[in-house]
Structure 1
Amino acid sequence: MRTVFIPVASPLHDEKAVQELIHQYREGVKDVDSFTPLIASEEEVQSVNIRQDDVALIGVLTGGTEHLILAIAKRAHTIALLPHPTQNSLPASIEAQSRLSLSGYSSVIIKEWPPKDSVRSYVKAWKAVSSLKNYVFGLLGRPSPWLVYSSGYDIEKELEERLGISFKFISLNEVYRQYRLIDEDEARELAVQITSRAVDVEVPMNEVIKSVKLYLAIKKILEKEGIKAFTIRCFDIIKSLDTTACLPLALLNSKGFVAGCEGDVPALLSMVVLKELTGKPGFMGNIAWVKKNRFLLAHCTVPLDLPTKYKLRTHFESGRGVGISGIIEEGVKVTLVRIDPLTQSMRVVKGKVISGFPQSNQHCRTQLWIESSDSIKLVTEPIGNHYVLIYGDYYEVLKWVAEAMDLYLL
């Protein structure tokens, strides 16, 4: 799938004015994959390189172009009309969009001049969504049994059919086998580096070494299989290896992989979308408590480059292995996302961190209290437990992601 900018104008146009408009458009849509020459006739529509999976951003330079827009729509996957304030551009866009909507075409009008943030968000969203078809999601063990809503073959089938994502199952026995092959000295060297960067270490060095060995084992498997994103049935590892996956996932998320917990595929999908949009890793956490307009997001793993500081503690539920207690700066704006393939919806929650310092020994180790007007919906309108947090306000671009994925925005 490509994003393509296509300028259209009536044959009766002011050449100088149109060229000036094209220059202004090109500056605002410079992130698209391709530009076509000016189109002023239906014959020219047939001659330009437009593919059926293209997202066509049409610069409506003049009025009298509605028929050209419809001709392009018959050849492209999705249409975004980009009007400007003069030359009867918006009237033509409204007329054409009315017909496109009635005929069932995927189309929008983006009224922004000069084209800037909204248009760039639209392009970024489509690029992120189109990248999903290149993903193979690794399933290291089957999902945890308590994920009664967030797992199942119906979810995997939905992602395969709608988004082109494929899945590769890897037995935990292979993880255990690779773990036993890891060089102890290599693991110790990395463990020393990790502990030296922590503000506090509450676990013995041999526990950190075991956890690092697991990281190296998983990393070796991912590189061998060509997998960039995976989720793991982590609790079984505690029984088999007497360590936890919390630190390995934290390290892998900081090293360019997308690593999710417990086999939660919808949460993994949410993490991947955010990574493609922002280039940054997300923090996957439990909705641990909700109180009025605030909620607690907590988990025992967090990408190591996300908190300002971190402590190494044990895993909360088991009291074993290594858990990450991240300290997050207060006042930071955040966006939380969960994509739900079952209801074909996406929830986007904007908020602000009001406490990023772990305060409780009765919750997972990294704990963020977040203020948001949408807090109560997490309980009253649930679509699964795990949410993914990213720094910053990404609501506008995520609206376009929802449209590109044909998801209902909650």
Structure 2
Amino acid sequence: MRIVFIPVASPLHDEKAVQELIHQYKESVKDVDSFTHLITSEEDVQSVNIRQDDVALIGVLTGGTEHLILAIAMRVRATALLPHPTQNSLPASIEAQSRLSLSGYPSVIIKEWPPEASIRSYVKSWKVVRSLKNYVFGLLGQPSPWLVYSSGHDIEKELEERLGISFKFISLDEVYHEYGLIMDDEARELAVQITSRAVDVEVPMNEVIKSVKLYLAIRKILEREGIKAFTIRCFDIIKSLDTTACLPLALLNSEGFVAGCEGDVPALLSMVILKELTGKPGFMGNIAWVENNRFLLAHCTVPLDLPTKYKLRTHFESGRGVGISGIVEERTKVTLFRVDPLTQSMRVVKGKVISGFPQSNQHCRTQLWIESSDSIKLVTEPIGNHYVLVYGDYYEELKWVAEAMDLYLL
């Protein structure tokens, strides 16, 4: 898939005015894969170098170009029409978009001049979609049995067919084998570094060392298999190794891998999309409670570079291993996100942290109370439990991702 800028104009155009417009578009439209020559006839459309999988940014230079826009749209995957304030550009865009919408061709009008910010977001959204085809999702163990909605072959099939994502299953026995090959001394130095950076440590050093050994084992498997995103059946590890995956996932997410919990593939996909879009690791958590216009997002793992401070505690449910209790500054703007392959939808929730300090021993260790007007929808219109949080407001960018992925935005 390529992202291609294509200028179109009526054959009756003012050549000087059109060339000046082309220059202005080129100044505004960045990060595309190619610019084509000016299109003024259907013969030009047939000769231009575009493919069925391309996304076309059509610079609508003049009116009288509706038929050219339609001819281009029939040859590509999707189009964005970029009108400007003069030369009957917007009227042509509206007329063409009306026909494209009626005929089922994916297309949008981006009415912004110059179109820098919106185009940047639109192009980035398609680059996110393009990047997904390069992903192999590692499934370390089967999904946890309580994921009655967020797991199953129908989800994997949907991601394979729609997005080109492939899957590789890795038995937990392979994780246990690698873990058994690692000596305590190999993990000790990193364990000391992690504890020294914590503001409080409630677990003994030998527990941190065991957790770091698990991190080293998982990382070795990921590197050997060429996997950069995975989800793991973490609770079985507690029974088999007497440690938890919370710290390994925190470390791996901080190092550029995308590491999800419990075998939740939709949550993993959501983490990958946010990572590709923002360059930041996400915090995957449970919707632990909702009241009024706020909700509690909690889990026992969080990327170590996401909170301002962290404590090392035990895992909440088991009281064993190492859990991360992250502390986040209040008033931090955040975006909560989840993709639902089953309903072909996504939810984006904007909010701010009103409490980033753990307040209860009856919840997972990292606890963020988020204020948002959309809080109640998490309960009344559920699409699965786990959501992913990143710092910042990415609502507009994720709207374009929904458009590119042909998902309904909840």
Bin of the TM-score, shorter chain as denominator length:
over 0.9
Counterpart-to-counterpart distance in 2, 1:286 and 1:27? 44
Shift of residue 394, structure 1, vs aligned partner: 0.6
Q: Secondary structure at the match of 2:169?
A: strand
Counterpart-to-counterpart distance in 1, 2:23 and 2:334? 36
Question: What's the CA shift string for 1:302-354, capped at 9, x where partnerless?
Answer: 00110001111100001100000000011011000111111111011100000
Question: What's the CA shift string for 1:33-58, capped at 9, x where partnerless?
Answer: 22112112222222221011001000
Alignment match, 1:364: 364
Counterpart-to-counterpart distance in 2, 1:246 and 1:28? 44
Alignment match, 1:322: 322
Alignment match, 1:160: 160
Task: Tell me whether 20-29 or 370-379 shows the greater mean CA deviation.
Answer: 20-29
Identical residues among aligned pairs (%): 90
Q: Secondary structure at the match of 2:130?
A: helix
**Superposition pairs of residues 187-266 of structure 1, within 5 angstroms:** 187-266=187-266
Shift of residue 284, structure 1, vs aligned partner: 0.2
Q: Secondary structure at the match of 1:276?
A: helix
Task: Tell me whether 214-223 or 178-187 shows the greater mean CA deviation.
Answer: 178-187
Please, what TM-score do these two structures have when normalized by structure 1? 0.99
Q: Secondary structure at the match of 1:134?
A: coil
Shift of residue 84, structure 1, vs aligned partner: 0.4
Counterpart-to-counterpart distance in 1, 2:256 and 2:199? 24
Does the 8 Å contact 1:315/1:321 carry over to 2? yes
Alignment match, 1:312: 312
Q: State the number of aligned residues.
A: 410
Does the 8 Å contact 1:7/1:22 carry over to 2? yes
Question: What's the CA shift string for 1:151-178, capped at 9, x where partnerless?
Answer: 1111111111111111100000000000
* Residues 1:39 and 2:39 are matched in the alignment: yes
Counterpart-to-counterpart distance in 1, 2:186 and 2:53? 47
Shift of residue 79, structure 1, vs aligned partner: 0.8
Counterpart-to-counterpart distance in 2, 1:148 and 1:28? 47
Shift of residue 186, structure 1, vs aligned partner: 2.0
Which sections of structure 2, spanning at least 5 residues, go unmatched?
none
Task: Tell me whether 359-368 or 66-75 shows the greater mean CA deviation.
Answer: 66-75
Shift of residue 182, structure 1, vs aligned partner: 1.7
Shift of residue 27, structure 1, vs aligned partner: 2.1
Counterpart-to-counterpart distance in 2, 1:36 and 1:315? 56
Question: What's the CA shift string for 1:342-384, capped at 9, x where partnerless?
Answer: 1111011100000001111111000000000001111111111
Task: Tell me whether 27-36 or 325-334 shows the greater mean CA deviation.
Answer: 27-36
Shift of residue 70, structure 1, vs aligned partner: 1.3
Counterpart-to-counterpart distance in 2, 1:151 and 1:273? 18
Question: What's the CA shift string for 1:104-150, capped at 9, x where partnerless?
Answer: 11111111111021111111111101211111100000000011111
Which sections of structure 1, spanning at least 5 residues, go unmatched?
none
Question: What's the CA shift string for 1:49-78, capped at 9, x where partnerless?
Answer: 101100100000011111111111121110
Shift of residue 14, structure 1, vs aligned partner: 1.7
Shift of residue 89, structure 1, vs aligned partner: 0.3
Alignment match, 2:21: 21
Alignment match, 1:385: 385
Does the 8 Å contact 1:231/1:261 carry over to 2? yes
Counterpart-to-counterpart distance in 1, 2:258 and 2:303? 10
Please, what TM-score do these two structures have when normalized by structure 2? 0.99
Counterpart-to-counterpart distance in 2, 1:27 and 1:337? 33
Counterpart-to-counterpart distance in 2, 1:201 and 1:34? 54
Does the 8 Å contact 1:233/1:261 carry over to 2? yes
Shift of residue 184, structure 1, vs aligned partner: 2.3
Counterpart-to-counterpart distance in 2, 1:28 and 1:171? 49
Shift of residue 13, structure 1, vs aligned partner: 1.5
Shift of residue 286, structure 1, vs aligned partner: 0.3
Moved over 4 A (4+): none
Counterpart-to-counterpart distance in 2, 1:377 and 1:67? 43
Does the 8 Å contact 1:28/1:120 carry over to 2? no
Q: Secondary structure at the match of 2:347?
A: strand
Decide whether aligned partners of structure 1 residues 183 and 35 sit closer, same or farther in structure 2, where only a CA change above 3 A counts.
Answer: farther
Shift of residue 183, structure 1, vs aligned partner: 3.4
Counterpart-to-counterpart distance in 2, 1:67 and 1:381? 42
Q: Secondary structure at the match of 2:353?
A: strand
* Residues 1:395 and 2:395 are matched in the alignment: yes
* Residues 1:177 and 2:183 are matched in the alignment: no
Counterpart-to-counterpart distance in 2, 1:282 and 1:85? 40
Q: Secondary structure at the match of 2:220?
A: helix
Alignment match, 1:94: 94
Question: What's the CA shift string for 1:249-280, capped at 9, x where partnerless?
Answer: 00000011000000000000000000010011
Task: Tell me whether 15-24 or 230-239 shows the greater mean CA deviation.
Answer: 15-24
* Residues 1:116 and 2:119 are matched in the alignment: no
Q: Secondary structure at the match of 2:133?
A: helix
Shift of residue 405, structure 1, vs aligned partner: 1.1
Counterpart-to-counterpart distance in 2, 1:372 and 1:385? 17
